[in-house]
Structure formats: structure tokens, C-alpha cells
Amino acid sequence: MSSLYKLSTTIRKLHSSAARFTKNVEFTAVRYPYLKRGSYSFLSDRHLRFFQSILSPHQVLTDEFNDLSGYNVDWMCSVRGSSRLVLRPKTTEEVGAILQYCNAQNIAICPQGGNTGLVGGSVPVFDEVILSLGLMDAVISVDELSGIAIVQAGCVLEKLETVLHLNNLTLPLDLGAKGSCQIGGNVATNAGGIRLLRYGNLHGSVMGLTAVLANGQIMDCLSTNKKDNTGYDLKQLFIGSEGTLGVVTQVALHCPSKPTSVQVGFFGINSFDNVLETLRLSKQSLGEILSSCELIDQSSMECVTSQLKLKSPVNDFPFYILIETSGSNADHDAEKLNSLLETLLKNGTIMDGTLAADSTQATNLWALRERIAEALASEGYVYKYDVSVPIRQFYQLVDVMRAELGSLPIRCCGYGHLGDGNLHLNITSQEYNTVLLNKIEPFVYNWVSRQRGSVSAEHGVGLKKRDYIEYTKSPTSVYWMRRMKKLFDPNNILNPYKIFPGSLND
Ligand code: FAD
Ligand code: MLT
Ligand code: ZN
């Protein structure tokens, strides 16, 4: 099995960190003229001298001597800040000293991990100083017995996985961006991904963390206890708060044992009713070994095969499902998946299907699902929606949106984490087009809200969805979120313009 992991992660790394054409991206301040810069200090020589006095030269990157476009532009090439300074601390204490100074000097900060975020949260909107965690990449300790790994926040997920495998452990989360995203960024976004069905989200897997608050204070919540009911569980506040409440510098993660058997099946299906039946039967017959259940629709499949020249072994169906099992007994797991395939074929729930015979085939099947984001990005501008909806309504939104948009976009497609009710609705056009955007939003969010779904299932709110948070959360909840933000960051220096609509003083 180790070769399976090795192959698949290498592919992920190549494509999630692909060079982007960052220079042609329009500035956020131009594209969204209604955004107004807060009354923060402008960077001065005096500020720079301070940072240079507490950090080494390679930890302070200025636009005078460096090309900062890779830090200012997001992975989707859809937003672009104009930061002139990137700070790269190596320790929690350095982060503390930076934030203490920025708070006193009223300097806005944008924390940045691997910059793979998909909601415009990881790059500055204006000239915020970028606090890049990339040099804090140590795996501090791994304990096979307890399954606890303690890691610095800037550790790339794939690197952590490699170390865990050497200790017979694996990550409780996995995502297509693992070659570039960092564990701190994952915690800050409460990233989901393809194993959430099995291991749950990071609110359950993170045992502890260290966060630096806006005033520079270090909050040590780095517990490794699975059970701890002493008062409020403050670490949870930083999981999913997207760098607005504090900077995560260390994480204690509970990691499951590495499965010794991973099986992958890939099915072609002719109706959405049969997609649901496949999910039901997979859950029922695979039980505890089911680790992923992913959906690809025909249009997504067309995009990934044509743009990236990939081949699918199962063709010409409206829907495809990828099922993965992870367990400890290869014969037992293979027998279960085989018998599921037979049943589904026999009763006509699926029309065609294949099981990966080896790790290369499994990797190739996963590429059809995991590389859709990359394939869509190569088609032009992507309007990306990541919603939670009740499972029976999972695909309706794609049909409704297609009817609404007609021939305006290049494509309107749906894929995602079916087993978790998390649809990725994606629409592409040659370039950014406000006529199309205005037809999609707020229509899409109204629809999701009517189903009592979530306008962000796993990617977060960032800048792109901040005007829609109340389509999912009640006004009272948002009011208390704002109060919490004010309490933790009274000067609003941490990732301003993100998560909340309007100005934070509203
Ligand atoms: P960044 O993009 O750098 O930052 C994300 C947010 O977290 C920003 O608001 C930033 O300010 C904040 N932040 C980063 N580090 C810290 C820190 N140490 N402390 C405080 N705040 C911080 N997401 C999923 O949930 N599931 C998927 O399956 C998935 N697949 C993806 C596939 C591809 C190809 C790509 C490009 C992205 C995918 N994503 C997915 C989105 C993205 O990878 C995740 O949101 C990831 O968790 C971001 O991690 P990062 O290190 O790149 O963070
Ligand atoms: C995925 O599941 O592929 C990611 O969340 C990226 C995307 O939504 O495109
Ligand atoms: Zn996803």
C-alpha cells in the first residue's frame, strides 16, 4: 500500500502547486470597487527597520527586492492584493513579537499558509502585511501509541503524511491540495476533503493548538488529551476562523492507524436516483470500511478528461461514483467491494463499474476526481460554489442553475463529497464576467438557504462569500461572531475584510 500513497501524493503535489499566471490578475481593489481600505498605517521605513531588527534578512521579503505576486494572488487567480511586505517567522515567539508590534502600530496582517484557499481569504485585499507560516514547518513529535502528532503550523500536509506513514499512522484529512496546503491553513479553514466521511472534521481531530492573539499574546491550548472538559474549549474558536481571531502556530492532531488495505471502485450510473441508491447500499454493505464516496457528473468528467488528457475506464454516463474503502484485511475488504459491485450491476443500480487492480489504477481513478478543480481552472474563470444541501436535493441545484444560465457559461457542472452532502457547483467562462456573476449570485445562495443548507461547506467564507454568511447563519449568530472578533482583535488587524460583510464597525 505504501506505493499507492507515494504515487498519488506526487501527482497531487505537481498539480496543486502549478505555476500560475499571477501577473495578469486584476487587483481586488479594482474588481470590487465598493471595498474600502481601513484606516490602517501605511508601511514606513521605521516599520521595516523594526521587522528587520527582530528577524533575519531571509525572513523579511519586500517588493523592492522580491517578486511578491505569488503571495498576493490566490490559487484561482481571482483576487490580488498589493502587499509590499512578507514576513516569515520561524517560531511562535517571533509571531508574537510581530503581532504585538502590528497591533500597537495599527498595521493590518493577512496570515497565509500554502495559499491554496478557494475563497479569497489567504491573500491581502489591499496592502496588508503578509504573515507567511512557510518556515514553521517542523514535525515536532509523533507518538504511534496515542496517535498524536505535534506539528508546526506551516508544515505541508503531504510532508506530515510521509512522516506519519513511517510511524504506521495516517492523516485524518486528505485533499487535492495536500502538496501545498499547510496544517495551519487546514485548521484555520476547518478543511474537509475526501476522508471526512470516515474520520469527521478537524473540530474532532485537533486535540490542541497554540495560537497567537492579535495583541501578541500566546495562547497555549496545546493539549494532547482526547478528553478534557475543563471549561470552554477555546481551541475550537481558531478552527475555521480563517485567521481572523489569531494565528495558529502549532497543532496537536489525532491521527488514525494507517490502513493496510485500500480498495477503490468506480461506477457509471444513469440517473441521480440510482446515485442515491448506490450511496445507500455502499453505506449499508461496506459499513465501517467505507472511507470515501465521491460524485462526478458528466460535464466535470468531460472537463477533466479533455483538459488534462486523462482517461476514464467507464464512459458516457450522466454520473460517476468513486468509492474507497480503507481497512486492515485486504481479502475481506476486496470481497466486500466485489460483492457490492456485483449487486449493484445485477439490480441495475449502476450500468458499468471497475475495481482498481493495483495502486496505479487506484491513483488514476482518484485523479479523475481530484484534478477536476485544476481542469476547470485551465478553462478560464471559475465561479466556485461549495455548498451543503440535504442529500436528496444534492444535484437539483446544478439542474436549476443550468436552466437559469442557458448558454452564457462554458459549462455548469457538479461534483463533490456525496457522502457528506457537500456539492461543488462550478461554472466556467472564458474570463471574469459580471453579467454572468449577477445571474448566479445571489440566486445560488437563496436556493441553498431555502433548503436550509450551508453557503460554505468546507472552503470557508473568506472575501468571496462574506456578503452571504447570513444566508446560512442567523443574525444573532453573526452578531455574536462579530462580538467575539471585537473581543479578540479590537483593532481589527487580523485578516480584515474577511468573513463579515461591510465594515467591522457596523
Ligand atoms: P491558505 O490558503 O494559505 O489560507 C486559508 C485561510 O486560512 C486564510 O484565511 C488564511 O488567512 C488562514 N490561515 C492560513 N494559515 C493560517 C494560520 N497558521 N493561522 C491562522 N490563519 C491561517 N478544501 C477543502 O476543505 N477540501 C478539499 O477537498 C479541498 N481541495 C482542494 C483542492 C485543490 C486543488 C485546491 C487548490 C484547494 C482545495 N481546497 C480544499 C481548499 C484549500 O486547500 C483548503 O482551504 C486548505 O485548508 C487551505 O490551506 P492553506 O495552507 O493553503 O491555507
Ligand atoms: C475538491 O473537492 O475537489 C475541492 O474542494 C476543490 C474544489 O471544490 O474544486
Ligand atoms: Zn471538496
Structural domains in the chain, sorted by start: 5-132 (3.30.43.10), 139-254 (3.30.465.10), 261-373 (3.30.70.2190), 379-472 (3.30.70.2740)
* 391/401 Cα distance (integer angstroms): 17
pLDDT, tens only, 122-155? 999 999 999 999 999 999 999 999 999 999 999 9
Best residue among 181, 423, 494 to mutate for probing ligand 1, ranked by most atoms within 8 Å of CB: 181
Please name which ligand lies nearest the alpha carbon of 76: 1
pLDDT, tens only, 202-254? 999 999 999 999 999 999 999 999 999 999 999 999 999 999 999 999 999 99
- Give Cα 411 distance to the centre of its chain: 23
Residue 292, Ramachandran bin (φ over 0: left; ψ between -120 and 50: alpha; else beta): beta
Q: Is the predicted pLDDT of residue 478 greater than 70, yes or no?
A: yes
Distance from the CA of 241 to the center of ligand 1, in angstroms? 12
The full DSSP string for 241-258 is STTSS-EEEEEEEE-PBP
- Please give the C-alpha separations between residue 417 and each of 220, 263, 414, 424, in angstroms, as whole numbers: 34, 18, 10, 8
pLDDT band at 23 (very low <50, low <70, confident <90, very high): confident
Please name which ligand lies nearest the alpha carbon of 303: 2
411 Cβ below 6 A of ligand 2: no
Nearest to 321 by CA among 342, 363, 285, 349: 349
Q: Is the predicted pLDDT of residue 318 greater than 50, yes or no?
A: yes
420 Cβ below 6 A of ligand 2: no
Q: Which residues pair with 106 in a beta bridge?
A: none
What is the average pLDDT score of the chain?
Answer: 95
386 Cβ below 6 A of ligand 2: yes
What pLDDT score does 2 carry? 31
Q: Does pTM top 0.85 for this prediction?
A: yes
